[in-house]
Amino acid sequence: MSDDLDSLELDLLAFVGDLVLTDDEPFDADTDLLLDGLVDSMGVVQLVHWLEARLGTEIEPADVVIDNFRSVRAMVAFARRRASTGS
């Protein structure tokens, strides 16, 4: 499981890279994906679907909040919290 989460950041960066539609805005794990609209509402839905498939578990709507999805790093932290609490 921890191996799985270790590669999550890289996998997410690759996935988000496909979602982001601008070439000229470089981004990394700390980039605020929401600030300049790099990821739109449909992108958020796709991110949630992707994470659910990757983690093999459903994500509660109440967990799909800005703080958990603002950046790739925030998403990884959210996944780690879920793994450690066994939810």
Partner 1 sequence: MVTTRRPATGVGPDAPRCLGELLELDAGPGALAVADPDRHLDREGLRRRAGQVAAVLVEHGVRPGDRVGIHLESSVETMVAVHGVLRAGGVVVPLDPRGPIVQVGAQLRDCDVRVLIGGGSARRLAAVVDASPVTVALGPDEGPPGAAAVPWSDLWGASPVPPRVSRPDEPAYVIYTSGSTGRPKGIVHTHASAMAYARLSAETYGLVRTDVVATLSPLHFDQSTFSLYAAPLVGAAALFVPDALLRFPASLTQVVADRGTTVWYSVPTLLVHALRRGALDQRDLSALRWILYGGEAFAPNLLAELMARLPGARVSNVYGPAEVNQCTYHHLDGPPSGDEPVPIGRAWPETQIELVAPDGQPVPSGEVGELLVHTVTAMAGYWNQPEVTRAAFRRRPGADGRVVPWYATGDLAVERADGELVFVGRVDNQRKVRGHRVELESVDAELVRLAGVEQAIAVVVGGAEEDARIVGLVIASAAFDPTAARRTLAGVLPGYAVPSELIRVADLPTTATGKVDRRGAALLVPDTDAPTLPLR
Locate 84 and state its tokens: 């450690």
Among 21, 28, 30, 57, binds partner 1 (CB under 8 A): 21
Q: How far is the CB of 81 from partner 1 (least distance, A)?
A: 16
> Least Å distance between CB 71 and partner 1?
12
Residues numbered 28 to 87 that lie near partner 1 (CB under 8 A) are: 34-37, 39-46, 49, 60-67, 69
What is the DSSP secondary-structure string of 29-43? TTS-TTTTTSS-HHH
Confirm or reject binding of residue 22 to partner 1 (CB under 8 A). Answer: yes
Torsion of CA 47, 53, 56, 58, to 10 degrees: 50
Q: Minimum CB separation from partner 1 for residue 6, in Å? A: 24
Contact (CB, 8 A) for 77 and 65:
no
Which stretches of the chain bind partner 1, using CB under 8 A?
18-19, 21-23, 25, 34-37, 39-46, 49, 60-67, 69
